[in-house]
Amino acid sequence: RRVKVGPVEAGQGSVGSPLLLPLSLSDAFEHNAAWGTVMPVQYQDHAYDVEIRGNYAFVADGSNGLTVYDITKEPTSASTGFLVSNIGAGTLKPPLGTASGIALWTDSATTRSYALIAAGPRGVGVVDITDVLAMKLVKVFEPIKMEDDKVGAADGQAVDVIIVGQHAYFSYDSFGVVCYRLADLIAPLPAGISPTEVWKKSLTGTLTYDHRPVALSRFKLQFVAGYEEKAGGAVKMGYTLVNGRLVLYAAFAEAGVLAIDWTDPASPLLAGIAPTAGACTAVTISNGRLYAADGSGGLVFFK
């Protein structure tokens, strides 16, 4: 939804006297509504996250994958071309799973641009968006998980992704937070390898091939001494980077809000934990305060 905040910026809203911001049909960007359908995105799903670049909104569009809208165009008629492009819609097995988080990055060495997608049960998605009209899958994979000395895949779903410097951080509801080098994520696959089948096991469980990037590090609260039985998994994240110190703030469901010192990309450390009354699902940081969406606990503020 596009929300016009001009009146607030002009001073009509103030602390203690909030201004109601009405919405209209022309503020809703969707590809399937009462006015019709924009092909080929036939099915409606939830929009979970968005990144704005220029006139384009890059949307994590659930099982429809990645949808790009032109936010300068009228969104209540298919003929205006407000839906610019899509990748991932219209297949029985969505290649980008349930896209729920998105972050954009441009490689300064090549000027190519990428969208990193938290792809739900499909894990990590990497899309080349250099040409928005011809976006391409680079790779989609579930992070490596070792089980009894055997190579497997992360359990749970990827929920969110943020980029800091040359690293990407993906949150998982039951696998923690995983850090990758961006260079590893965008590295090309060997010839003949499908971007949606970057690893394979035989029917007997033997590893046939595996071209998944190796994570630089991983943090999971239940791996920290004293928290082994603590409930909660990583959901949405925010971060601060002050004087070279990187701290990720993760909504960790029943556990509350976690502060993770990730200054060393290879060695994350638990810096603090703030319990909440409900189940924390999202955080945002502004003016030295952290705001947490806490489910039945409401909206919680921290300094």
Q: Does 200 share its domain with 80?
A: yes
Q: Does 210 share its domain with 136?
A: yes
Q: Does 206 share its domain with 237?
A: no
Indicate whether 9 pLDDT > 80: yes
Q: Does 208 share its domain with 256?
A: no
Chosen domain end from 167, 184, 219? 219
Containing structural domain, residue 269: 229-303
Mean pLDDT of all residues in 288-296:
94
Indicate whether 20 pLDDT > 70: yes
**Global pTM value:** 0.93
Q: Does 178 share its domain with 156?
A: yes
**Residue 42's pLDDT band (cuts 50, 70, 90):** low
Indicate whether 79 pLDDT > 90: no
**Residue 41's pLDDT band (cuts 50, 70, 90):** confident
Chosen domain end from 185, 219, 253? 219
Least confident stretch, 43-47, 220-224, 284-288 = 43-47
**Residue 266's pLDDT band (cuts 50, 70, 90):** very high
Chosen domain end from 159, 189, 219? 219
Q: Does 55 share its domain with 119?
A: yes
pLDDT greater at residue 237 or residue 90: 237
Taking only the tens place, the pLDDT of each residue in 123-162 is 999 999 999 999 999 999 999 998 888 899 998 999 999 9
Q: Does 246 share its domain with 203?
A: no
Q: Is 21 contained in some domain?
A: no
pLDDT, position 219: 98
Q: Does 122 share its domain with 147?
A: yes
Taking only the tens place, the pLDDT of each residue in 151-193 is 999 989 999 999 999 999 999 999 999 999 999 999 999 999 9
Q: H/E/C letters for each residue in the chain?
A: CCCCCHHHHCCCCECCECCCCCCCHHHCCCCEECCEECCCCCCCCCCCEEEEECCEEEEECECCCEEEEECCCCCCCHHHCCEEEEECCCCCCCCCCCECEEEEEECCCCCCEEEEEECECCCEEEEECCCHHHCEEEEEECCEEEECCEEEECCCCEEEEEEECCEEEEEECCCEEEEEEHHHHHCCCCCCCCCCCCEEECCCCCEEEECCCCCCEEECHHHCCCCCCCCCCCCCEEEEEECCEEEEEEECECCCEEEEECCCCCCCEEEEEECCCCCECEEEEECCEEEEECHHHCEEEEC
Q: Does 87 share its domain with 191?
A: yes
Q: Does 61 share its domain with 137?
A: yes
Q: Is 181 contained in some domain?
A: yes
pLDDT, position 181: 99
Indicate whether 119 pLDDT > 70: yes
Mean pLDDT score of the chain, rounded to an integer?
Answer: 93
Q: Is 16 contained in some domain?
A: no
% of residues, the chain, pLDDT over 70: 99
The total domain count for the chain is 2
Q: Does 247 share its domain with 141?
A: no
Q: Is 87 contained in some domain?
A: yes
Q: Is 24 contained in some domain?
A: no
